[in-house]
Structure 1
Amino acid sequence: MIVEFDGEVFQWDARQDAAWYFTALPEPLSADIREIPRPQRGFGSVRVRASVGGSTWTTSIFPDSAGYYVLPLKKAVRVAEGLENGGPVRVRLEVLDA
């Protein structure tokens, strides 16, 4: 499954010494991914290959408390692609767990 979507970068302060940045997948896409038969992984994660601009990396998406999946945006990608907290992001996502 390969999809593209537009999202917004947001910061989650899990700890005082580290800030994490994510974008949320749209609800319909999150629902479609939940329906894909796959092996169980920790925290309900799903392995993906993500692309933003010229950056591509392999990571996992995670369900949040509202049931949406969120994609972590690592610092190297944010810097390379000029992503900022609250700003837009266009993502191409390939689900690898299927």
Structure 2
Amino acid sequence: MRIEFESEVTRWSARVDSWFFATLPEDLSLEIRELPAPPRGFGSLRVRARIGLTSWDTSIFFSGTAFVLPLKKQVRDAQGIEEGGVVLVDLDILEV
């Protein structure tokens, strides 16, 4: 399943080392939750993500009302992504 969405980049600073995320739209997240997928820790799903020319394999996690995509430092640096910026994400869900 291939998805494209835009998201503001947010920081989760509950830990000393800050984590940055793109959040999938709530309606899309609800559709994804209905897909048959093998059970994984934290309700995660394996995905291949792309922002600009950078692609990577990771997982999305359901958090509250939507899935979130972690944006690792290598990706943020390569694409000039900063907190509060808006990113266009192409996402392939690998487990359905």
Q: How many residues align?
A: 96
Amino acid at match of 2:61: F
Q: Secondary structure at the match of 1:14?
A: coil
Point out 4+ residue stretches in structure 1 off by more than 4 angstroms: none
Q: Percent of aligned positions with the same letter in both sequences? A: 54
Give a deviation string over 1:40-82, Cα, whole Å, max 9, x none.
00000010000000000000000112x2000000000001101
Residue 5 of structure 1 aligns with which residue? 5
Structure 2 spans left out of the alignment, 5+ residues? none
Structure 1 residue 83, shift from structure 2 partner? 0.5
Alignment RMSD, CA only?
0.7
**TM-score of the superposition, structure 1-length normalised?**
0.95
SS in structure 2 of the partner of residue 84 of structure 1: coil
2:20 alignment partner in structure 1? 21
Q: Structure 1 unaligned runs (5+)?
A: none
Cα distance in 2, alignment partners of residues 10 and 27 from structure 1: 16
Distance 2:68 2:75 in 1: 16
For the pair 1:44 / 2:43, whether they are aligned, the reply is yes
